[in-house]
Each structure stands twice: as C-alpha cells, then as structure tokens.
Amino acid sequence: MVELKEDERLDYLLAENMRIIQSPSVFSFSTDAVLLAHFSYLPIQKGKVVDLCSGNGIIPLLLSARTNVHITGVEIQERLFDMAQRSVEYNDRQHQITMKKGDVKEIDQLLHHSHYDVVTCNPPYFNTPPGDKRNVNEHYAIARHEILCTLEDTIQASSYLLKQGGKASFVHRPGRLMDILSLMRKHRLEPKRLRFVYPKPGREANTILIEGIKDGKPDLKILPPLYVYDEQNEYTKEVHDMLYGNHKSDHQT
C-alpha cells in the first residue's frame, strides 16, 4: 500500500498499467509529458537516462515501461519530489528509477559530467511574470514559469550531462522555438528532430517536440504533424494509443 497525504489521489497510467500520485494543490502532469515520453529516443538494455524537472515523476515512470536502463529524475520542489518517490515505490520501480532532489542550475553537484546517453526535460514554458501576475499557488507558478530555472538552464544542464553523441529531448511551446534552437546550438546540442503538435486539424500548433544530439552534425528533420484530437473531438489513434495502450515507439533501439 502507498501512503497518501492531504488531498492526494492515485491516478491510472492505463497504457503502462501503473498508477501515479497526484494532487489538485500541486501541478499535475499534462499530455505534454506523455508526448515527450513517447517522442524520446531510448536505449533498451544499456545506457543511462536523466529526466530534468521531473515533477511528480511522470516521465521517469512512463519511460520505465519502454526500457530496462536506469533512469534518474531530478526535481527541486520537496512535495513533488516526495510524491515521485512514493509513486516509484508503489509501482515497484526502485531498482530502475532514482529520484534526486536538487536544482538544475547546480546539476554538477548532483550528477556526473558527460555520463548519460539520454536526457529528457519538460521545462517551465513561460518567462517569469511580475509578482502580482503570478499564480497564487507556488507549485503551479514554479511549474509554469521560469522562476527557479530558465530554458537556458535546462539546455545547459542537459549538455553537461550527456556523453558526446547523446540525445536530449524537450517539449515546449512554438513561440520559444527560435530561443530553443539558438540555445541548443550554443550549448553543443545540434537539433536533429522536430515535431509540431496540433490540438486538431486546422488549428495552429501549440506544442513542439525537439531532439538534439550533443556535438551532432547539422541535419534537422521535420517530422509529420501530430494531431491530438480529430474532427469529432476524439483522440486520434496515435494519441489514444499513447494514453491507453497499443503504442510502440519507432525510436527504440
């Protein structure tokens, strides 16, 4: 049994046959995390993976269903870190997932340099607003805005962690695409795969998935668009399979 605190609940991760601890008073995971977990390249038997800005541990848990390699999650907020640890234990993934509480800006004090094969990150999306414009819920504000770390902090940390030839994957908003591309190159992560995500056909993209290779050669591939809903406002088959099962990634090796 798992210990639930305050207003916590156990939610199902149906495709992975797991459960995760969530709470309405802290930032819950969104579809973006699921999209990133399925977009990301993963070694199957050998290698090491790090997930930055892990929140309640959603991406490490999702990744653990696709690979046997060790995964380290990094989260700075105490409550989310605690929820992640208990979710890992509930799903009996302690042998595969290690959660570390710490600051992405101090990654050199947490993890080894040039030691990892893959880094994933679902960072805060928005610039820090003035104090009176922030969400009054501190957990929500930190998850959504660059209060404790910036986009560059996460990209720099990813480059620090990766071996040469290692891969970093991010999910973000299209409005930050030029920032992401320039910062990735600045920190030796050559953009290699980019996919635009659309709420439904006929709408503007509202999410991007991007992968870079440390010290890779220039060769950016634009992947086919991903639509979350169809014209009937039902999940498309690709997204439905990610959420409910029957999905196999094309990027496992």
Q: How many CB atoms lie within 10 A of CB 16?
A: 18
Half-sphere exposure at residue 218, Cβ-oriented, CA atoms within 13 angstroms: 3
pTM (2 d.p.): 0.89
Which two three-digit tokens encode residue 130?
């003035």
Domain ranges of the chain: 30-244
CATH 3.30.43.10 fits 30-244, yes or no: no
Can you tell me the distance from the alpha carbon of 55 to that of 71, in angstroms, rounded to the nearest whole number? 14
Would residue 35 be called left, alpha or beta, if left means φ above 0 and alpha means ψ between -120 and 50 degrees? Answer: alpha
pLDDT tens-digit map of 82-95: 999 999 999 999 99
pLDDT tens-digit map of 228-253: 999 999 999 999 999 998 744 445 54
